[in-house]
Structure 1
Amino acid sequence: MKLVSREGWGARASRGSTRLSSTRGVKVHYTGSRVDPRLATDHARCDDAVRGIQRSHMDGNGWNDIGYSMVCCPHGYVYVGRGPHRLPAANGAGLNSGHYAVLGLVGSSGLTEPTDAMLDGIRDAIDYLRREGGAGKEIKGHRDGYATDCPGKALYAWVREGAPRPGGGSSAPAPSRSVGRVPAWPGRLLTQPPVMRGGDVRTWQARMRERGWRIAADGAYGPESESVCRAFQAEKGLAADGVVGPLTWRAAWEAPVT
């Protein structure tokens, strides 16, 4: 699971919330408006899209926060909206306490078809809300409780099929990997320099950017970020203790991108 925290996508502070102990399940949503098709190929736009939805909900609707519990982008990243144990606002008056609200970032025009990665992300969000928020087994569309076209033809057909994982994969929860404020790209993310002594970190960062990896040069780095970098070290046969010679690093830099 590729989980993006509220801090990670730059959420505004909530103006207040009502606690939920549990729900009967989740309801799946789409935006009900045009979604820029460029989101499908440019993940850097996804954070902006989530912030725009929060801005619309807070400044336009007068809500306390973004209305959704979780938001899933075309690349399979799961954004924490209001999150678990918080009353959503998107299901409709009188209906919010029964289900969490999970948005797939597709709309009524532009980008209308969910990607397999998005469907996986929605399943990840559902599993997360069951594990962390006491969500029950129900998976419904917004229209199942409210007079609306939401979540659109494609997503609703998927919900009616039982919301299966693409390819028939298991719906068991996947391990979470938190993503910070750095744009995240599937298969190309490192959020801290490798643990190393005596190495030229800036040179390493520059060369890895050339290979298509996204590097966060500054900031606080947690244990999950460290594990990603250590996995890279293991993949390239680099010393686990971080004592890495320049020839070893040059070999890693010049190795084919896989």
Structure 2
Amino acid sequence: MAIDLVLRRDWNARAPRGDYTQLDSAKGVKVHYTGGRVDPGIVSDHDECVALVRSIQAYHMDGNGWIDIGYSFVGCPHRKVFEGRGLHHLPAANGPGLNAGHYAVLGLVGNAGLVQPTDPILHAILDAVDHVRARGAAGKEIKGHRDGYSTDCPGDPLYAWVRRGAPRPSGGGAPPPSGPAAPPFPGRSLSYPPVMRGDDVLTWQTQLRKRGFTLDADGAYGPASREACLAFQRQQGVTADGVVGPVTWRLTWEAPLS
């Protein structure tokens, strides 16, 4: 499932009170919770999610004196991802001196009311993680807020999930397998807008084929193909650096090569 992004204009976000600091790249993501009571009613009413995100922005701007909501993205129980500060903008929620290391992604759970993250919330957090890896030059780390700052955030249930490696919940939404075994849907095609660039596209084509993939990017080896290979590299959790504009590529399954 592609990310279901709720843009700032769609949740009627206030304009920031100043310019964001540029975030060229990051180690990964820090996961957060609200730290207050979250009405369980948001699970059945997405309008309440919108109202909650707007109230968080107001608190951060009017209470904390920040220029905007402190989070990069917010995942809600309808598997929607709210755009906060967004890509390549320094968050404010990770703590002094720690914001440049990671994007900040909030899951809409708290310390009372809705405490246990639902599967759609976990999927939304991971959709945001995939988004910042693919489009925001984020690395593979997924950590809790408390890993870098003295806080209860992101709460024990959400932090326990982070400590387990932040797995996709069962029942759909999981990414395709990355190992050498052939998947159950031969010939399936996936579209993705790569934003990475790197060096040795021939090496990566070889590695992808060994893992059971065929990668077709613009029909030739060149900058677009290199970017596509590196984007796939990022998707599989291997570090790559750099950002370029999006191109379209197709990934198809094939039997593993011996």
Q: Is the 8 A contact 1:26 1:99 kept in 2?
A: yes
Q: Is the 8 A contact 1:164 1:171 kept in 2?
A: no
* Counterpart residue number, 1:149: 152
Superposition map of 1:7-26 within 5 A? 7-15=9-17, 16-26=19-29
Q: Shift of residue 131 of structure 1? A: 1.0
Superposition map of 1:57-206 within 5 A? 57-167=60-170, 170-171=174-175
Q: Is the 8 A contact 1:123 1:171 kept in 2?
A: no
Q: Shift of residue 171 of structure 1? A: 3.6
Q: Which protein has the bigger helix share?
A: 1
* Counterpart residue number, 2:6: 4
CA distance 1:175–1:78, shift in 2 (3 Å): farther
Q: Shift of residue 138 of structure 1? A: 0.4
Q: TM-score, normalised by structure 1?
A: 0.66
Q: Unpaired runs of 5+ in structure 1?
A: 177-258
In structure 1, distance between residues paired with 2:191 and 2:21: 28
- Once the two structures are superposed, residues 69-101 of structure 1 have per-residue CA deviations (whole angstroms, 9 ceiling, x without a partner) of 000111111000000100000000000000000
Q: Shift of residue 175 of structure 1? A: 7.4
Aligned Cα RMSD in Å? 1.6
In structure 2, distance between residues paired with 1:76 and 1:70: 12
Paired positions, count: 175
Aligned equivalent of 1:38, options 36, 41, 57: 41
Tell me, what secondary structure is at the counterpart of 1:136?
strand
Q: Shift of residue 170 of structure 1? A: 2.9
Looking at CA atoms only, which structure, 1 or 2, has the larger radius of gyration? Answer: 1
Q: Is the 8 A contact 1:71 1:105 kept in 2?
A: yes
Runs of 4+ aligned structure 1 residues displaced above 4 Å come to none
Q: State the percentage of identical aligned residues.
A: 64
In structure 1, distance between residues paired with 2:108 and 2:191: 22
Q: Unpaired runs of 5+ in structure 2?
A: 177-189, 193-258
Partner amino acid, structure 2, of 1:97: A
* Counterpart residue number, 2:217: none
* Counterpart residue number, 2:54: 51
Tell me, what secondary structure is at the counterpart of 1:130?
helix
